């Protein structure tokens, strides 16, 4: 992903006190108003409340005494989104077409493990933090392990028809929110249900990369500069949840890191969570034994670059799950 000249949009939102929202709410005052089909550029900060810096260590986190991801006084705080954008002509029953035109990440990022969060929170409770210096195309996880840049927004959404605040950390079918879909990179298109006049679109939670599953609860979090086109789509069947179309470029990016193949573990168990945990434990065991990672490193690496896939769900409470990692990550 080479740097390209950033095309100036008609409308611009720079992250600041007046732009950051902790909720989706139909009563939020519109930040800007645009016409259907116009573009907006966003500058988004990190998902936290600025207590995590590029120099933060595990010891710093312990001193902060985080009790959970949602602890306002802890190290993470909240997920902010920037907006809202009022789109002229958007009415309940329409869809809002969101086209991701450009994404440029910041020059540093982080991933972490926090108490009360993550697939293996009882086994690897944290807190742990790892920071990264980000290059345009990749970052170094550790010597011999490179993570390719595959940027996307983890949180995008619109206001609900309901009154009151809806926290962006918790996704809902009617608004979107924090769904962490890594397929929404440059060139992707998402369709969101419109529930209120103007839609009131907001976006945040920038990621440099993430695996399918985000098993620790964090991706490789960073800042983002973006250009997004918002268009009202009328005359289609009302959406019951977000829909999306991937871009050929994102598919190529994902396949390129897999040119050397993947190493995977299959697990079958009664109950979906049991199958997922067994597959992940097996993959972490392999990363520790064969690649020399600590278990904490293996857990973090899988969250930002590994993949969980459902192999079979027959409706019989017996599930087979795959946990895999691209071998192209290992450059030595």
Domain layout of the chain by residue ranges: 11-252, 261-329
User: 95-105 and 189-193: which strand pairing?
Assistant: antiparallel
> In this structure, are residues 111 and 300 in contact, taking their beta carbons and an 8 Å threshold?
yes
Smallest Cα–Cα separation from 76: which of 66, 91, 84, 85? 66
How is the chain split among helix, strand and coil, in percent rounded to 5?
Answer: 15, 40, 45
pLDDT of residue 235: 86
Query: CA-CA distance, 235 to 230, in Å (whole number)?
Result: 16
CATH architecture of 11-252: Sandwich (2.60)
d(CA 19, CA 34): 16
Inter-residue contact 42 to 229 (CB < 8 Å): no
Residue 224: per-residue pLDDT = 94
Output the pLDDT for position 73: 35
Burial of 167 (0-12, 13-18, 19+ CB in 10 A): middle
- Give pLDDT, residue 74: 38
Predicted local distance difference test score (pLDDT) of residue 169: 67
Residue 223 token pair = 């800042």
Nearest to 286 by CA among 295, 275, 274: 295
pLDDT at 17: 64
- The pLDDT profile of the chain, 332 residues, written as one tens digit per residue, is 444 455 556 898 876 667 678 788 899 999 999 999 999 999 987 655 457 888 988 888 777 765 555 443 333 446 788 999 999 999 999 999 999 999 999 999 999 998 888 999 999 988 899 999 999 999 999 999 999 999 999 999 999 999 887 776 678 999 999 999 999 999 999 999 999 999 999 999 999 999 999 999 999 999 999 999 999 999 889 999 999 999 987 777 776 666 789 999 999 999 999 999 999 999 999 999 999 999 999 999 999 999 999 999 988 999 999 999 999 999 97
Instruction: Specify the pLDDT at position 49.
Output: 47
In Å, how far are 229, 234, 235, 263, 323 from 95, measured between CA atoms?
14, 7, 9, 40, 35
| CATH fold of 261-329 | Endonuclease I-creI (3.10.28)
């Amino acid at each position: 992903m080479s740097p390209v000249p950033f095309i100036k949009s008609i409308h611009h939102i720079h992250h600041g006190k007046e732009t950051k929202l902790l909720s989706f709410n139909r009563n939020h005052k519109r930040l800007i108003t645009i016409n259907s089909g116009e573009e907006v550029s966003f500058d988004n900060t990190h998902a936290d409340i600025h207590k995590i810096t590029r120099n933060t260590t595990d010891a710093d986190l312990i001193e902060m005494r985080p009790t959970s991801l949602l602890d306002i006084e802890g190290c993470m705080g909240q997920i902010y989104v920037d907006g809202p954008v009022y789109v002229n002509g958007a009415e309940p029953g329409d869809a809002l077409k969101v086209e991701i035109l450009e994404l440029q990440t910041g020059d540093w990022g982080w991933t972490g493990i926090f108490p009360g969060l993550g697939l293996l929170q009882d086994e690897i409770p944290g807190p742990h933090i790892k920071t990264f210096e980000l290059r345009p195309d990749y970052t170094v996880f550790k010597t011999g392990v490179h993570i390719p840049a595959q940027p996307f927004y983890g949180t995008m959404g619109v206001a609900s028809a309901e009154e009151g605040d809806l926290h962006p950390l918790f996704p809902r079918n009617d608004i979107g929110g924090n769904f962490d879909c890594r397929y929404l990179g440059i060139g992707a298109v998402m369709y969101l249900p419109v529930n209120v006049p103007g839609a009131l679109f907001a976006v945040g939670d920038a990621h440099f990369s993430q695996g399918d599953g985000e098993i620790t609860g964090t991706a490789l979090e960073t800042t983002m500069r973006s250009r997004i086109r918002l268009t009202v789509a009328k005359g289609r069947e009302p959406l019951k949840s977000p829909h999306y179309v991937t871009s050929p470029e994102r598919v190529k990016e994902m396949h390129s890191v897999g040119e050397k193949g993947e190493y995977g573990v299959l697990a079958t168990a009664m109950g979906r969570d049991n199958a997922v945990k067994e597959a992940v434990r097996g993959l972490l065991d392999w990363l520790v034994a064969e690649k020399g990672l600590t278990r904490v490193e293996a857990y973090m690496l899988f969250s930002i670059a590994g993949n969980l896939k459902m192999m079979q769900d027959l409706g019989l409470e017996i599930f087979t799950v795959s946990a895999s990692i691209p071998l192209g990550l290992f450059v030595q």
